[in-house]
Chains A and B, each alone.
Chain A
């Protein structure tokens, strides 16, 4: 079937004529339909199974689509602020030179002395009209959120051997992250040693805000009990007597 060369209603004022496309054969339609069905099914299963809780049915159904879902990066959860909006997770750090003196931070600082820094950097938490990329702040914020998610949660002592092996791997992965963050801080600010503290920034209740609490109130800051150092003790060169 040839395409119509003279569009209908071309002489009508105020109307743009339209040319229909060459119709598709039923073979092409079947082929495209199969591809569409495959993609839409894969997309549905990918979105369903990308976020917890796990479903046995979802897991079974997703198996034939694994390769496609991974290659096209369809495994997005899209669970915005679900199941609940939660506290933020940040990282505070101090850097020391070889003599143990704190390094002054020209950016990322949270105290007046500029010896303590924070990721995400507070100076990038800008308003809409300020000429800085708020998106960059959000990128840093996601880094510390992911660092929090990587913290290995404790498992019972009588857990199966596989659970202990998986836990050990999670610990290695988490330390690899804190080490990597520390090396990046040393590259940026110089120094010889980094101390990292993970922080949870809680959300006040409506009552607390009504009573005058600010979102920056120190009472809302909760620190992880452990401080992470780099280089770690086992990686430090043996100290030599002066």
Chain B
């Protein structure tokens, strides 16, 4: 009996270690990460450019929520210590008083997001982009919502991997340098097909986004399970009949309670099972298609297109680089060095 248990534990340990290694440390083609960099850069650029439309209201010396009002939210009765969440909050808006300097930094921030899109000094600007996004959210937490959480999350993981290895100025410069080097060594005709440099950190970055997306949907579903309207199948009506969210009229759904019920239950079931079903390759396209449908629906009918797109970008972490390359360069990929070509994936 003891031997049986010992063998089981040994097998379980070996399986766990091997599984962990495969999950986190298998090299990955950074193509998906490259596309994510462009999409996240666009999201950050747009999100922060919109602040410009009411700069004084949100970031001016007074504004809708001035510093006093912001800090009053965190003050606690005498004798109690300040929560660590408050002590750890930081924002460059708290350190700089001059509006001219803040404006200059805002323009610089927009420039940094543009560089992220273009992929110039990609990893450095990815780190800066994350810090900028966090700093803005800390100044105006009252004006933030899910979009900002997704933006900061995506920016946080982007710099872990070589996000500028594909579809970037960095990649173009590197390619040009290598071609010049090869030409300088007199190798004659330079091959147009460059090998793909697989990367372990690209895999880690993608895996972290994937895990985070699973957590988001899992806890979103758990939250919904506490609500009566989700359990009784009417919650979708509450979402589409909210005048402040509405951008396309969906009140015609009032005549189709069964459709409302199906959509409500489907949403909860999809969120609840996302973290399990998104991993098997057979289910993945279905789960991701549902994600696109749900988030485009939120964007079109509920006026939150930026948020909807941010969630779709997060889901893109589950798209294999093979498909990205096939779609963008019409060349299929992935022959690890030493592998037999017959097993390679062909275009």
Contacts and interface: CB of A to CB of B under 8 A. Distances in A.
Specify whether A and B are partners. Answer: yes
Interface of A: 4, 7-10, 12, 14-21, 24, 29, 32-33, 36, 39-40, 43-44, 47-48, 51, 53, 66-67, 69-73, 75-88, 90, 120, 125-128, 133-143, 146-147, 150, 162, 165-166, 168-169, 172-173, 176-177, 179-181, 183-184, 187-188, 201, 203-204, 206-207, 209-210, 215-216, 220
Q: Which size class do B's interface residues fall under? A: 35 or more
B242 interface: yes
A87 B239 CA distance: 9
Nearest to B331: A16
Contacts of B341: 8-9, 12, 15
A39 B211 CA distance: 11
Contacts of B68: 176, 180
Interface in B41-72: 46-47, 50-51, 53-54, 56-58, 62-66, 68-69, 72
Rank and list the top 8 A-B pairs by shortest CB-CB distance, nearest first. Answer: A82-B223, A83-B227, A85-B238, A70-B88, A79-B223, A165-B77, A76-B149, A7-B195
A179 to B, nearest CB: 7
Contact of A33 (B24, B141, B144): B24
B21 A85 contact: no
19 contacts: A12-B344, A15-B332, A15-B333, A16-B333, A19-B197, A21-B200, A29-B21, A43-B212, A78-B219, A82-B223, A128-B247, A133-B53, A142-B143, A142-B145, A181-B64, A184-B63, A187-B56, A187-B62, A215-B251
Quick one: which of A43, A78, A137, A172 has the most chain B CB within 10 A?
A78
B142 interface: yes
A51 to B, nearest CB: 6
B24 to A, nearest CB: 6
A17 B230 contact: no
B77 A21 contact: no
Contact of A32 (B84, B204, B257): B204
A140 B50 CA distance: 12
Contacts of B220: 78-80, 82
Interface stretch (B111-119, B278-286, B299-307): B299-307
A10 B230 contact: no
A169 B20 contact: no
Contacts, number: 293
Contacts of B195: 7, 10, 16-19
Quick one: which of A18, A67, A134, A220 has the most chain B CB within 10 A?
A18
Contacts of B334: 16, 18
Contacts of A40: 208, 211
Given A7-B335, A15-B345, A86-B238, 5 more contacts: A36-B204, A67-B84, A73-B137, A79-B219, A169-B75
B124 interface: no
A1 B173 CA distance: 27
B198 interface: yes
B6 interface: no
B337 A18 contact: yes
A165 B76 CA distance: 8
A240 to B, nearest CB: 28
B198 A73 contact: no
Contacts of A169: 75-77
Contacts of B215: 43-44, 47, 78
Nearest to B298: A80
B257 A206 contact: yes
Contacts of A9: 335, 339, 341, 344
A39 B208 contact: yes
Contact of B88 (A16, A43, A67, A88): A67
B89 interface: yes
Contacts of A21: 27, 197-200
Given A12-B341, A135-B50, A209 B251 contact: yes
B77 A166 contact: yes
A210 B255 contact: yes
Interface string B183-219: 0000000010111111110001000100110011001
Contacts of B156: 72
B152 interface: yes
A207 B251 CA distance: 11
A64 B58 CA distance: 34
Given A16-B331, A82-B227, A206-B254, A150 B337 contact: no
A215 B27 contact: no
B219 A184 contact: no
Contacts of A72: 134, 156
A140 B65 CA distance: 11
